[in-house]
Amino acid sequence: MARREKKSRSKGSAGNNRKSGEDFLQNNKQKTGVLETNSGLQYLIVEEKQGPKPGLFDTVKIHQRALLLDGKILEDTYRQNQPDEVKIEELIEGLQEGLPMMSLGSRYKFWVPAELAWGRKGTGNKIPPNAVLSFDIRLVEIC
């Protein structure tokens, strides 16, 4: 019986995350400067530079601040002053779409719907099911 209650609570949490995420994205896209792609990825150009753009199969160095909608910080390389080196093709779908839009040196904010991130399952304790994620990214280097 305790297991059933736990599962049902878990499903409720996932449902609440989905609803609050949908509400957030609906309101967010009404804000000045926020753009949305066909997939539902939302972004705001904070600082646009002229220069090369990475491709899906490039490795890049980025500064990023990744947050849940409640403000919980998942990662913050700005604070550590140590950019991450990542292969774009290995990132979540939303960042695979977003990073190639950025020119070297640019800074964007991304709001990634759950379907373009970790979806219904989340990642255990760190990212809950159906979580919309917020990223503040600066493209530092195309390796």
The pLDDT score that the predictor gives to residue 15 is 75
Reading the chain (143 residues) residue by residue, the pLDDT tens digits are: 343 333 333 445 667 888 999 999 999 999 999 999 999 999 999 999 999 999 999 999 999 999 999 999 999 999 999 999 999 999 999 999 999 999 999 999 999 999 999 999 888 789 999 999 999 999 999 99
With contact defined as beta carbons under 8 Å apart, do 43 and 34 qualify?
yes
* Within a domain: 51: yes
Of 8, 1, 29, 10, which Cα lies nearest the Cα of 132?
Answer: 29
The pLDDT score that the predictor gives to residue 12 is 55
* Within a domain: 50: yes
* Within a domain: 60: yes
* Within a domain: 83: yes
* Within a domain: 9: no
* pTM (2 d.p.): 0.89
* Within a domain: 6: no
Number of domains in the chain: 1
* Within a domain: 17: no
Q: Residue 45 maps to which CATH number?
A: 3.10.50.40
Per the structure, the complete domain to which residue 103 belongs is given by 36-142
* Within a domain: 66: yes
Q: How many CB atoms lie within 10 A of CB 32?
A: 5
The pLDDT score that the predictor gives to residue 10 is 43
Distances (CA, A) of 30 to 22, 26, 46, 110, 133: 13, 7, 17, 15, 18
